[in-house]
Amino acid sequence: MKIDIDGKITIPTDIQNQLGLQPGTEIKLEVVGNTLQIRKPQASNRGKQIIAALRGKATNRLTTNEIMQLTRED
């Protein structure tokens, strides 16, 4: 494996699959002695991250009942 001119490496597919690494997965790099360790950070609550990202983005023009009515079929 080689580092490209931009300092990037490609993690082999079998290792990605083994660790559950998907595009966009956060990883942590750590130097231990003369070894570079690549780790997935401790499992975070993805749902909480999504809610935090969406918090404050919606308007409050509709009530919950009005939204529910829009999502139901006639």
- Identify the pLDDT of residue 74: 66
Residues of the domain holding 65 = 13-71
Give the mean pLDDT of 2-28: 90
31 occurs within a structural domain: yes
Tell me how long the chain is: 74
- Identify the pLDDT of residue 34: 95
Q: 38: which 2 tokens? A: 């690549």
pLDDT tens digits for range 35-57:
999 887 776 677 877 888 888 77
Helix (H, G, I), strand (E, B) or coil at 68: helix
Give the mean pLDDT of 5-28: 89
Mean pLDDT computed over every residue of the chain:
85
44 occurs within a structural domain: yes
Domain count along the chain: 1
- Identify the pLDDT of residue 44: 64
**Cα separation of 50 and 54, whole Å?**
6
Asked whether the whole model's pTM tops 0.85, one would answer no
Give residue 11's identity as a one-letter amino acid code: I
